[in-house]
Structure 1
Amino acid sequence: MDGDDYYIPALALGIALVFKLPGMVRDWRDPLLRSVCVLLVLAASTFFFAAPPTIGQVNRITGVPNISAPLVYCILSAFSASVLVLLVHWRGGSPAEIRRISRRWIVAYGLVDVALVVLFLLGDAPVERLRDLDSYYANTPYIREMIVLYLTAHSVAAFGMTALCWRWSLQVHGSLRTGLITIVIGSLFNIAYGVTKFSAVFARWAGHDWDGMSSVVAPPLASAGALFSALGFVLPLVAQRLADNWHNWTVYRQLGTLWRELRAAVESGSPSVRISWWSSADLRITQRESDIHDGMLQLDPYFDPALRASAYDEAIEAGSDPRRARAIADAAMVAAALQARTADPEGKIISSAQAYTSKAVDGPRDLVRMSLALRNSPVVEAARRRAARSESGTHE
């Protein structure tokens, strides 16, 4: 494999990290998000530093032949630890338990990294090998142990991830299950990577040459394993974010009917604050709800509690549950108030009216249900027509 075969996965993982960085900056204290970012950094670093051009450059800069070997092995071991730590955070539990288990994995793989460095320093690897170091030095004292140690640590993490994620995937559904199965696929590739590497090393011990297993077959398996594993961890988080955004934009659209009905009242009072076109759905919902509440304050003198009570009874009789009936009643009251406000352009009613909003409503209004009721409730439409006829009769 040339450098591009390593740099392309590193770039893909780096792009995924860029998409996660804004959320990490906003909520650095979130351990799950922090773990995802650490995993992506380590996965991208593994491919970057394992690329033959990078290996050669690091060796030349340091002046130590094959110094890239313990560097790459340490990063790979740290990546294995980050995968296990992320799974611990993902599964959840008490904060104390999560910290305790995560600390154990970090310490264990930290000791592996220390051992890898010590074994490399004790060994002798004077001939630079960019692609086949594992098989070339398979019989060299201390370097041999370093190779076996990193492969064992990586394989343990791969087997553990496969077993844990498969069992967990049988208990959950949706995007979480899809993510877990994707991680299982990635772990199987990682297991296959370990098998091919071990095969080349064992073959050297037996006096055979299976170096192609290590230098040709194993690297693509590692690439696929890291990409599938990273995708599996990111997928549920992305799916949840998309679902939340879809829900927020749906709420924003559903509030549209009520907002448009009240916009005239809002514009007659304080003007709506303009927000940028790239603003999030959350911010847009907040502004739309603020405009609606401003409009309700403008209509406050025209609200009729008796009309609301009557509309509530009609909604209950029509089969609505109490929560929906309250929203329909509020919407009917708003529809009638809009008719009354239109018929009173000079605001003569305002000075003598009693405030209704702050006194007669039991709890906050369900603005989304109100907006939907304004659009399609027969009870609201009937209240609107009656109010229109009443105002027309008054002016006659």
Structure 2
Amino acid sequence: MPEHAHLFTIPIVLIALTHKAWQLYNNPKNPVLWALCAMIAAIGTAATIRSPAIYTAFDEAVGIPNLARLIEHLTGIIGLCAGEYFLLNLNNPETSARKAKIRYIAISPLLVIMAVAFLIEPRTIEAPSDFTEQYATAPGMGLYMACFLGIFALSMLHLIRTTHRYTKNATRPLVRLGSRLMAAGGILGLVFILNKAVSFYGLRYGFDSPINAELSRACIAIGIILVLTGVTIPAAGPRLAALYRWPQRRRAYRELHPLWLAIYNTTPAVVFTPPRQPDKNTSPGPIQAHTLLLRRIIEIRDGALALRPYLDPHIAATAETEARNHGLTGTRMLATIEAARIAAAIETARRLGPTPPPESTPDALPLANVGAEDLDADAAALAPVAQAYAHSPVVARIARQAATEATSAT
């Protein structure tokens, strides 16, 4: 794998950080989201500074050769520490803050030891690509790597153990998938640690190591991608699904507008938050489409139920006869009958006002097939009714007849 392999992780870091930052913006008091954003930002910093070009540019800017390596390792550990809080919160939110503080307190002296051991002797030869080979025998490096690899190994073991336990209790498929991806990233992290330990201490104490730097680069780059994808996918998955279904839901929302508007004008109480321009057939965006379509379906259904006292029990038979005369069958005929019932009830309610007609209320509820758990199924069931209400000559004629009869009754 090339030396700049870590740059492949930067797009994943940016996507994950953008997604979690947006969640944090909407919920700024959530400490778990703060921890996740810190973890992603720290890991992204470590992955970015590992690139030889950025490594060298950073050292030239601060004037200390190879300081980028220390910053890379420290920011990586900071990201792991932030991730510890998230992992602890997965299984036991009540004690996660206390346990995370204990871990931070335990790790802090090790970070100081690492910094002192690294800086105990100037390392003047810039080594962005072969730092381990160049300084394996330098003073302080044995202790430095022991602290770094020890912290890393404990974090990876905790990651694997926690995600495995959480996977068994998770009910959502995307949550299980995310946990498995994180566990896989932790396993690659352990492979990286083993490879790094064997190669470093082999060079330090003079024995040949069959493991090389290419494996380290591959493990750490792929591991970062797996962990960040696992953290992001449980929340991002539904948004991606919503984006995929947006054209269909946008079209359904617009198709339902004529029926919704008629019901709103007749029974405005069923609409809790009326739009500023109800007559305008707007198009919802990808994020709002699910919520707005669900609300529109509920309001249509509730409005139809509110019109039940105005339903004429004889309309269905009349509408069926006329629909058959127009050559309608199957779903189109049933949708036309339902639209005719609602249209006649709307016209009757408009003219009689709060006093419904004396006829008995029909047994068949309006829109009885709407109200399932599946939003898209409800939208598909309502769309033919809304189209018949807006365009069917059968519905228009029955609505005019109902309006005439209601006017005569008053």
- TM-score relative to the length of structure 2: 0.69
Q: What whole-Å deviation, never above 9, does each CA across 1:333-361 have from its counterpart, x for those lacking one?
A: 997463144368xx5422x7269xxxxxx
Give the distance between the partners of 1:208 and 1:70, measured in 2 at CA: 26
Structure 1 residues 164 and 354: CA distance shift in structure 2, 3 A: same
- Amino acid of the structure 2 residue aligned with 1:272: D
**Which of 334-343 and 45-54 deviates more?**
334-343
1:334-373 matched pairs, under 5 angstroms:
336=341, 338-342=343-347, 347-350=350-353, 353=355, 368-369=370-371
One of 186, 189, 214 as aligned partner of 1:216: 214
Matches within 5 A, 1:254-333: 260-266=258-264, 271-272=278-279, 275-278=282-285, 280-282=288-290, 284-285=292-293, 288=296, 292=300, 296=303, 303-304=308-309
1:157 has 2:155 as partner: yes
Correspondence for 2:176: 177
Q: Which of 156, 165, 168 is equivalent to 1:167?
A: 165
Are 1:107 and 2:105 matched, yes or no? yes
Q: Is the 8 A contact 1:2 1:51 kept in 2?
A: no
Q: What secondary structure sits across from 1:167 in the alignment?
A: helix
The AA in structure 2 aligned to 1:8 is F
Q: Hey, what's the Cα distance between the residues in 2 that align with 1:247 and 1:92? A: 35
**Residues 158 and 190 in structure 1, CA contact (< 8 A), matched pair in contact too:** yes
Give 1:369 deviation, angstroms: 2.0
Equivalence for 1:321: none
Deviations 1:82-127 (A, max 9, x none): 2222212333532xx2221222333334443333222223234233
Q: Distance in 1 between matches of 2:260 and 2:27?
A: 36
**Paired amino acid for 2:160:** T
- Partners of 1:190 and 1:225 within 8 A in 2: yes
Q: Which amino acid aligns with 1:22?
A: W
Q: Distance in 1 between matches of 2:114 and 2:246?
A: 49
Q: How many residues align?
A: 348
Q: Is the 8 A contact 1:138 1:147 kept in 2?
A: no
Secondary structure, in 3 states, of the residue corresponding to 1:74? helix
Task: Name the SS for the 1:369 alignment partner.
Answer: coil
- d(CA) in 2 for partners of 1:46 and 1:334? 62
- 1:69 maps onto 2:69 in alignment: yes
Q: Deviation digits for residues 171-228 of structure 1, max 9, x if unmatched?
A: 4352222222211211111111111110012212331354x84533211111111111
| Number of the residue aligned with 1:53 | 53
Deviations 1:215-252 (CA, angstroms, capped at 9, x unpaired):
33211111111111111121222234456778999998
TM-score (norm 1): 0.71
In 1, distance between residues paired with 2:18 and 2:203?
Answer: 42
Residue by residue over 1:301-348, the C-alpha shift from the partner in whole angstroms, topping out at 9 and shown as x without a partner, is x6518989xxxxxxxxxxxxxxxxxxxxxxx9997463144368xx54
Structure 2: gaps (5+ residues): 269-276, 314-336, 358-366, 373-377, 386-394
Task: Identify the residue that residue 186 of structure 2 maps to in structure 1.
Answer: 187
**How far off is 1:43 after superposition?**
1.9
List runs of 5+ in structure 1 lacking aligned partners.
Answer: 309-331, 356-364, 378-383
| Letter of the 1:153 counterpart | I
Q: SS of the counterpart of 2:371?
A: helix
- Indicate the RMSD between aligned Cα atoms, in angstroms: 4.4
Distance 1:277 1:240 in 2: 17
2:328 corresponds in structure 1 to: none
Query: What corresponds to 2:391 in structure 1?
Result: none
| Kept after mapping to 1: 8 A contact 2:253/2:283 | no
Q: Residues 92 and 137 (structure 1 numbering): CA distance in 2 closer, same or farther, change over 3 Å? A: same
1:354-388 deviations in Å (ceiling 9; x for gaps): 69xxxxxxxxx9995297887899xxxxxx9xx98
SS at match of 1:170: helix
Compared CA separation, residues 49 and 271, structure 1 to 2 (3 A): closer
Q: Distance between the aligned counterparts of 2:225 and 2:382, measured in 1?
A: 49
Give the structure, 1 or 2, with the largest relative contact order (CA under 8 Å, sep 6 or more): 2
CA distance in 1 between counterparts of 2:59 and 2:260 reads: 70
TM-superposed deviation, 1:139? 2.6
Identity %: 15
| Counterpart residue identity of residue 71, structure 1 | I
Aligned residue for 2:115?
117
Paired AA for residue 182 in structure 2: I
Note the 1:191-206 alignment, pairs <5 A. Answer: 191-206=190-205
Q: CA deviation at 1:277?
A: 4.5
Return closer, same or farther for 1:265/1:80 CA change in 2, 3 Å cut-off: closer
* Alpha-carbon contact 1:259-1:291 (below 8 Å) kept: no
Aligned twin of 2:327:
none
Match of residue 207 from structure 1: 206
CA distance in 2, matches of 1:281, 1:248: 6
CA distance in structure 2 between the partners assigned to 1:9 and 1:155 by the alignment: 21
